Every structure is written in C-alpha cells, then in structure tokens.
C-alpha cells in the first residue's frame, strides 16, 4: 500500500492539480496547487521522520522542491497584504505564467516520485542500525571544537562558510561538510543514551551546536533539524510513541522559531554596523538592538521578509517561458557546473570561470539576473527547457544514490553513514544550484577519507557491545 501511494496515488494527485491549474491559470488555482504540493511535501516528510518510512534521494528532492516552491507560494499568498491584486501581480509577474510554472513543478515532481519509488532502492535497509561506542564521543567532541574554531578564525560567520575571492579555505571546506552530519549524529547520541554523565555531555554538545547553527541561516537550521530527526531512527527498532513524537516536534519547532528570530536580529545588527566585525560582536550588537526597545520594528521587518522571501517561483517562471520561445543552453550549464566542481589545485585558471547559472541564463535568454533562487529545476530549464526540468532531478537522485552505494562498499560503516547524512542534507536543499550538488558529492567522497582516521580509534562500548551491521541493500 505504501509503495502504491508513492508511485501512483500521490503522483496522480499532483498531476490532477497540475492539469487543472494549467487549464485555469488564475490566482485561486495557484493557491490550490500550492496547497496540494505543500500537503504532499509535508506528508512525505512526516512519513520519513515520523513514521520511519524508507529514505530515497528522489523523494527527498521531491520534498525539497515542493516545500521550497509550494509552501513558499502558500505562505506569501496567505500573508502578503496586496488588496485586490493577485499574488503574481504583487511581485510584478504575469499570473498565468506563475500558475503555469506551478503546474509544471507539480507534474515534474509527480514523475520523480513515481520513478524513485519504482527504481531507487532505499538509502538505508529496513534493518539498518547504527551502534555507539567511544568513537562517537570523539567525533562529537572534535567536531564541536572544530566549529568553535571556525567561528573564532572567521571561517564560519553570518550565513555560513566564509568565501575569500570565490574560494573557501581547507578548514572552511571541512566545516561545510562536517556541520550537518555532526548535528545529526549528536541528536542520535542524545536520544539513544539513557542517563549518566555521557547523556549530559551530549545534551550540552547538542545545545552548543544549535546555538552555533543560528548565524548560518534559517534554512541551514531547518535542514539540520530535519537531518537530526532522520538520524535518530538509526537505533530503535520501534517507532516512538505518538506523544513523544509530538513533544520532540514541538521542541524543534519552538527552537527553529526562536533561532530564526535571533538570526534576523543578528542580521539587522550587522547591517547597521556596516563593518566587518566578528560573530561575537554581531551577537552583542543584536542583544543591544533587542534591549534598545526597537524589537517591534525588527519583528515587523522580519514579518515582511517572511511574506516576500518565500516567493521564489518567479525566476523559474521566466526560465520556463523563455525556454518555450528560444533555444536553451543545451547542456552548457551542466558542463560549467562540472567545471566548478573541479578542485582549484587541478585547474590553474579556474578563477576565470567563477560565474553562475544566472549568467548563462542571461546570455542564452537575454535576462539581466544577478542572484536568484537556483534549483535543479532552474538548472534543467536553462539547459533543456521542460525536458531538463523533468530529467535533471532524476539524474541527480541517481547520482546521489550511486555515491552512497560507493561509500557503503568502500568505507567503514560509521564513516559511510556520516558521509551519506551529508548527501541527504544536500538533497534536502531547495536553493542549491547544480554545481553545489556536484560539490556536495565531491566533498562526501573526499572527507570520508578524513573521517576514516577518527574511526580508526580502537572501539570499546559503554552500554552494550557493538553488533554486526546488516549489509547495505
């Protein structure tokens, strides 16, 4: 029944909403199609983290794109004051074009759901388990220390990893890889350990890590929390009781809301200072801003930002429309993305090619974009129009799965699991351009070797013996 749900029933629901929206491309159908997409995305996510359903990269990409586009449209539709204007008109867009691209998103996601359910094996076998020993403590302690070091050295800051002339340092690259799976593994350790000093240690590490996630941005916090929920399923064979699931979910939502508010205070305080100051100084400036009595103004600015920021569908609407009238890039964007994933040490003149998808779209379609909400859908549209929009997520899901399979075969169990968690983090991203997905795969393969050193430490158990791990399937 569950398999039929994902290869037949949910795709049929998405396709039905897409067809009706395509026939009646108006503001009301934009909302209806957004609600359908939001329901499917949230239901699928709850199936993974709440009901311990199979994890597939194709489904994660469905969740990320439906969540990013559909939930974003619904949020803006319901919250943005616009009088009698349609939502598209409020953003200076053509209502018919916006509704049409929403229909295309639902249709492409329906195809991805069906293909993934029928052809992609789950990332983790049904009897997959991750067992703890002293090396988990070493990993959590060293990882947390690295993140703290990153903030004090300026490698980590507001909005994440610091870039220097288009490049990141070795430490920055390590931090970019380690932060998401570190938080997930710490969540796993915290929920697994029953009591004692080590339980308090993991509690402290989890709190410290979440605080350090706040400056990296709202989306980073959200994806890391989702990754944590996925990781906690690696131990217990039975699902949590419904009450326990509700409690943990409520705590996570409260933490995300609080963290998002704190992040925006830090962001506003940084803008007001107009100088390159440390993250500690930025946090102090945010606290001073809060205590100054201007909290109401900041909260109003935050609300306005949330009303408008979630409407990210305009860029791919323009791309879809242009690709039906003009010849697309025919793979240039994909080729350039592979170039960007090539290490600088192997490419002396790479600095001359540090431009993004928007510049290719500008050249091919005559736009004048600078920094837009990139995604696999936008990458596909730039290269091959609607056919690229359909095939690029399928190909990326296959590439993610092949990478995970390779890690399972070549690396120790713990190492491959941590690297695969980072791949899952990448699949959850809505606004990653194609080159960033390639970089995530490259990073997972490279840094798995570094993790191997940590997990070469002799293992000894605390609460139980290590057990044999089922083979990947």
pTM to 2 decimals?
A: 0.92
The 10s digit of each residue's pLDDT in 167-180 is: 778 888 888 899 99
Nearest alpha-carbon partner for 228 in 267, 181, 266 = 181
Q: Residue 272 contacts by C-beta under 8 Å, 6 or more apart in sequence? A: 285, 289
Distances, alpha carbon 73 to alpha carbons 67, 87, 99, 375, 466, in Å: 10, 9, 10, 16, 47
| Per-range mean pLDDT, top range of 18-27, 263-272, 332-341, 413-422 | 18-27
Residue 149, token pair as written in the block: 């070091």
According to the model, what pLDDT value does residue 243 have? Answer: 82
Mean pLDDT of 259-284: 78
Phi, psi for residue 160 in degrees, rounded to 5: 105, -140
Q: What is the pLDDT of residue 1?
A: 59
For residue 422, the model assigns a pLDDT of 96
C-beta of residue 440 within 8 angstroms of C-beta of residue 179: no
CA dist 256 to 214, 230, 359, 361, Å? Answer: 9, 17, 34, 35
| Per-residue pLDDT, 472 | 39
At which residue do the structure tokens 């939930």 appear?
A: 71
412 burial via Cβ count (<10 Å: 0-12, 13-18, 19+):
middle
Give me the pLDDT at residue 468, please: 40
Residue 455 clears pLDDT 80, i.e. is over it: no
> Taking 90 as the threshold, does the pLDDT of residue 187 lie above it?
yes
Residue labelled with tokens 């029928």: 118
Q: Of 9-18, 187-196, 334-343, 434-443, which gets the smallest average pLDDT?
A: 187-196
pLDDT average, residue stretch 391-401? 97
Calculate the CA 139 to chain-centre distance: 23
Q: Return the HEC string of the chain.
A: CHHHHHHHHHHHHHHHHHHHHHHCCCHHHHHHHHHHHHHHHHHHHHHHHCCCCCCCHHHHHHHHHHHHHHHHHHHHHHHCCCCCCCHHHHCCCCHHHHHHHHHHHHHHHHHHHHHHHHHCCCCCCCCCCCCCCHHHHHHHHHHHHHHHHHHHCCCEECCEECCECCECCHHHHHHHHHHHHHHHHHHHHHHHCCCCHHHHHHHHHHHHHHHHHHHHCHHHHHHHHHHHHHHHHHCCCCCCCHHHHHHHHHHHHHHHHHHHHHHHHHHHHHHHHCCCCCHHHHHHHHHHHHHCCCHHHHHHHHHHHHHHHCCCCHHHHHHHHHHCCCCCCCCHHHHHHHHHCCCHHHCCCHHHHCCCHHHHHHHHHCCCCCCCCCCHHHHHHHHHHHHHHHHHHHHHHHHHHHHHHHHHHHCCHHHHHHHHHHHHHHHCCCCCCHHHHHHHHHHHHHHHHHHHHHCCCCCCCCCCCCCCCCCCC
Q: How confident is the model over 411-453, as pLDDT tens digits?
A: 888 889 999 999 999 999 999 999 999 999 998 998 888 788 7
Determine how many CB atoms are found less than 10 A away from the CB of residue 331: 12
317-352: per-residue pLDDT in tens?
A: 999 999 999 999 999 999 999 988 888 777 777 767
Residue with tokens 């925006």: 264
What is d(CA 134, CA 17) in angstroms, rounded to the nearest whole number? 51
**Number of neighbours of residue 271 by Cβ within 10 angstroms:** 8
Length of the chain: 473
Q: What is the pLDDT of residue 166?
A: 62
Most confident residue range from 272-281, 449-458, 464-473: 449-458
Distances in Å between the alpha carbon of 153 and those of 32, 82, 89, 161, 404?
A: 48, 45, 45, 11, 32
Which pLDDT tens digit goes with each residue over 134-149?
778 888 999 999 999 9
| Contact status, residue 74 vs residue 34, Cβ threshold 8 Å | yes
Terminal CA-CA length for the chain: 21
């Amino acid at each position: 029944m569950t398999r039929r749900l994902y290869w037949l029933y949910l795709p049929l629901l998405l396709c039905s909403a897409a067809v009706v929206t395509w026939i009646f491309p108006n503001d009301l159908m934009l909302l209806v199609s957004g609600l359908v997409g939001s329901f499917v995305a949230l239901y699928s996510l709850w199936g993974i983290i709440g009901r311990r359903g199979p994890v597939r990269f194709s489904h994660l990409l469905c969740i990320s794109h439906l969540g990013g586009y559909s939930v974003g449209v619904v949020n803006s539709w319901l919250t943005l004051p616009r009088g009698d204007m349609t939502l598209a008109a409020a953003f200076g867009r053509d209502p018919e074009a916006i509704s049409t691209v929403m229909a295309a998103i639902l249709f492409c996601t329906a195809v991805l759901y069906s293909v993934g359910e029928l052809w992609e094996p789950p990332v983790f076998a049904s009897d997959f388990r991750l067992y703890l020993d002293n090396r988990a403590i070493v990993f959590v302690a060293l990882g947390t220390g690295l993140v703290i070091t990153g903030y004090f050295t300026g490698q980590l800051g507001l909005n994440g990893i610091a870039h220097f002339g288009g490049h990141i340092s070795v430490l920055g690259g390590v931090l970019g890889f380690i932060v998401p799976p570190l938080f997930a593994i710490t969540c796993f350790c915290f929920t697994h350990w029953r009591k004692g000093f080590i339980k308090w240690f993991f509690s402290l590490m989890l709190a410290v890590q979440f605080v350090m996630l706040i400056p990296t941005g709202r989306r980073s916090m959200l994806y890391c929390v989702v990754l944590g929920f996925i990781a906690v399923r690696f131990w217990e064979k039975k699902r949590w009781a419904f009450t326990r699931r509700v409690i943990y979910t409520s705590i996570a939502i409260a933490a995300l809301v609080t963290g998002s508010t704190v992040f925006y205070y830090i962001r506003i305080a940084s803008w007001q200072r107009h100088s390159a100051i440390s993250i500690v100084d930025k946090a102090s400036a945010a606290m001073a801003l809060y205590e100054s009595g201007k909290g109401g103004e900041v909260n109003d600015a935050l609300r306005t930002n949330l009303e408008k920021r979630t409407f990210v569908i305009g860029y791919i609407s323009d791309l879809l429309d242009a690709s039906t009238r003009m010849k697309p890039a025919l793979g240039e964007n994909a080729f350039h993305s592979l170039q960007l994933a090539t290490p600088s040490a192997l490419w002396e003149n790479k600095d001359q090619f540090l431009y993004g998808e928007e510049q290719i779209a500008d050249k091919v379609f005559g736009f004048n974009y600078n920094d837009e909400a990139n995604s696999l859908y936008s990458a596909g549209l730039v290269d091959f129009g609607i056919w690229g929009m359909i095939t690029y997520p399928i190909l990326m899901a296959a590439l993610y799965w092949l990478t995970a399979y390779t890690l399972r075969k070549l690396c120790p169990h713990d190492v491959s699991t941590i690297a695969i968690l980072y791949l899952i983090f990448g699949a959850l991203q809505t606004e990653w351009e194609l080159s960033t997905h390639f970089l995530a795969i490259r990073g997972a393969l490279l840094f798995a070797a570094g993790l191997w050193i940590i997990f070469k430490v002799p293992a000894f158990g605390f609460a139980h013996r290590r057990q044999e791990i089922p083979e990947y399937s």
